[in-house]
């Protein structure tokens, strides 16, 4: 844990209102929209000025957006880095400019920069644990026997890397669980549909799909149905995020389960900034306490899903 001033961390004064940047990576999914809304709603509630940028899926644009916030001398920056390595240098640029930066949702290259020294902290979900939890459920549900199609998130992103590793590490002990195909579907519903449409033709013996997020799973469910399969019966689907439409798919029996990855960062992120300004020690990692949804709790969780 570290407080302002420790290890050269930028100082932040106590104020009633702050002017902060939120440099969103893209806005092409329910999850991203919910994350943005959470940040905007909380800024509004506190009466803070939130400068919002949308990099539209481009790491170059996200880098430029952070630089523009540094140039505007904002009080602090909240950064959900689209990819780990490319966004690392601007973290150091913010530090050099004396602007506290909070990495949220996805990590930066932790070999190159350190929380509590170069940026304040990381706030987000444990993507590796998410992959393990999805695998654990699949093993239990299938009795340890499945031919799996894995739909990967966008290449180079930490959720894609960690969710694959968590899942694969867990299934090592279960030789009956075989990943027969793995391909990126870019975390989008459209690509989930397109990729699944092709893969199910080449791998008609697949009995399960592990999608790194709900959007891809929902696209893949449609593709499987159009290809003549019955999702939930012929093919078991498991994914990550826990968005409302995924819980609805669970209730309808199409999706088996989803591991929550909460996009509700606003209250936690801004409270952490306030604590930091107040001189409190901030842990290097603040990990979200995520839920797990299957048929046993999907209906009662609908109202609290995004």
- Among 4, 23, 29, 236, which residue sits at the site for ligand AHR (rule: CB under 6 A)? 29
Identity of the residue, 46 or 66, whose beta carbon is nearer to ligand AHR in the bound complex: 66
Instruction: DSSP for 80-128, please give it.
Output: --SSTTTTHHHHHHHHHTT--EEEESS---TTT--BTTTBS-EEE--HH
Q: How far is the CB of 88 from ligand AHR (least distance, A)?
A: 16
- Among 75, 105, 118, 191, which residue sits at the site for ligand AHR (rule: CB under 6 A)? 105
80 within 8 A of 23, measured Cβ to Cβ: yes
What the block records as the tokens of 157 is 């992103």
246 within 8 A of 34, measured Cβ to Cβ: no
Site string for ligand AHR, 111-150 (x = CB under 6 A): ----------------------------------------
- Among 75, 83, 118, 241, which residue sits at the site for ligand AHR (rule: CB under 6 A)? 241
Q: How far apart are CA 95 and CA 99, in angstroms?
A: 6
Tell me the CA end-to-end span of the chain in Å, nearest whole number. Answer: 31
Identity of the residue, 12 or 34, whose beta carbon is nearer to ligand AHR in the bound complex: 34
Q: How far apart are CA 292 and CA 128, in angstroms?
A: 14
Q: How far is the CB of 29 from ligand AHR (least distance, A)?
A: 5
Identity of the residue, 75 or 241, whose beta carbon is nearer to ligand AHR in the bound complex: 241
Q: How far is the CB of 187 from ligand AHR (least distance, A)?
A: 4
Identity of the residue, 32 or 254, whose beta carbon is nearer to ligand AHR in the bound complex: 32
Residue 260 found at the interface with ligand AHR (CB under 6 A) = no
- Among 4, 23, 54, 213, which residue sits at the site for ligand AHR (rule: CB under 6 A)? 213
Distance (Å) of CA 294 to CA 230, 238, 256: 18, 9, 6
Measured from the Cβ of residue 228, the count of other Cβ atoms closer than 10 Å reads 9
Identity of the residue, 48 or 167, whose beta carbon is nearer to ligand AHR in the bound complex: 167
Q: How far is the CB of 167 from ligand AHR (least distance, A)?
A: 14
232 within 8 A of 253, measured Cβ to Cβ: yes
- Among 187, 270, 293, 306, which residue sits at the site for ligand AHR (rule: CB under 6 A)? 187
The residues near 231 (Cβ < 8 Å, ≥ 6 apart) are 221, 224, 225, 237, 254, 255
Q: How far is the CB of 306 from ligand AHR (least distance, A)?
A: 10
Identity of the residue, 4 or 23, whose beta carbon is nearer to ligand AHR in the bound complex: 23
- Among 240, 246, 249, 305, which residue sits at the site for ligand AHR (rule: CB under 6 A)? 240
Q: How far apart are CA 198 and CA 242, in angstroms?
A: 26
**Footprint of ligand AHR on this chain (CB under 6 A)?**
29, 31, 105-106, 159, 187, 213, 240-241, 261
């Amino acid at each position: 844990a570290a407080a302002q001033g420790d290890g050269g961390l930028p100082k932040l004064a106590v104020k009633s209102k702050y002017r902060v940047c939120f440099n969103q990576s893209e806005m092409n999914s329910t999850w991203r929209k919910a994350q943005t809304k959470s940040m905007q709603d909380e800024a509004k509630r506190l009466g803070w000025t939130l400068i919002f940028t949308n990099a539209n899926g481009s790491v170059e644009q996200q880098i430029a957006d952070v630089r523009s916030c540094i140039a505007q001398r904002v009080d602090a920056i909240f950064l959900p880095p689209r990819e780990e390595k490319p966004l690392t240098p601007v973290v150091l640029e913010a530090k050099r400019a004396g602007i506290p930066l909070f990495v949220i949702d996805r990590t930066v290259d932790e070999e190159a920069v350190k929380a509590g020294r170069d940026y304040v902290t990381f706030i987000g979900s444990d993507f590796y644990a998410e992959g393990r939890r999805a695998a654990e459920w699949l093993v239990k549900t299938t009795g340890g026997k499945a031919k799996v199609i894995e739909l990967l998130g966008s290449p180079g992103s930490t959720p894609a890397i960690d969710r694959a590793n968590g899942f694969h590490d867990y299934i090592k002990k279960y030789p009956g669980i075989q990943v027969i195909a793995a391909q990126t579907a870019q975390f989008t519903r459209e690509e989930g549909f397109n990729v699944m449409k092709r893969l199910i033709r080449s791998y008609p013996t697949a009995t399960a799909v592990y999608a790194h997020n709900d959007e891809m799973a929902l696209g893949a469910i449609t593709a499987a149905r159009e290809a003549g399969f019955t999702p939930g019966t012929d093919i078991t689907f498991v994914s990550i995020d826990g968005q409302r439409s995924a819980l609805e798919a669970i209730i309808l029996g199409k999706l088996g389960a989803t591991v929550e990855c909460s996009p509700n960062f606003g209250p936690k992120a801004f409270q952490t900034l306030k604590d930091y300004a107040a001189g409190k020690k901030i842990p290097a990692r603040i990990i979200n306490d995520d839920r797990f949804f299957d048929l046993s709790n999907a209906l009662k969780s609908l109202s609290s899903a995004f």
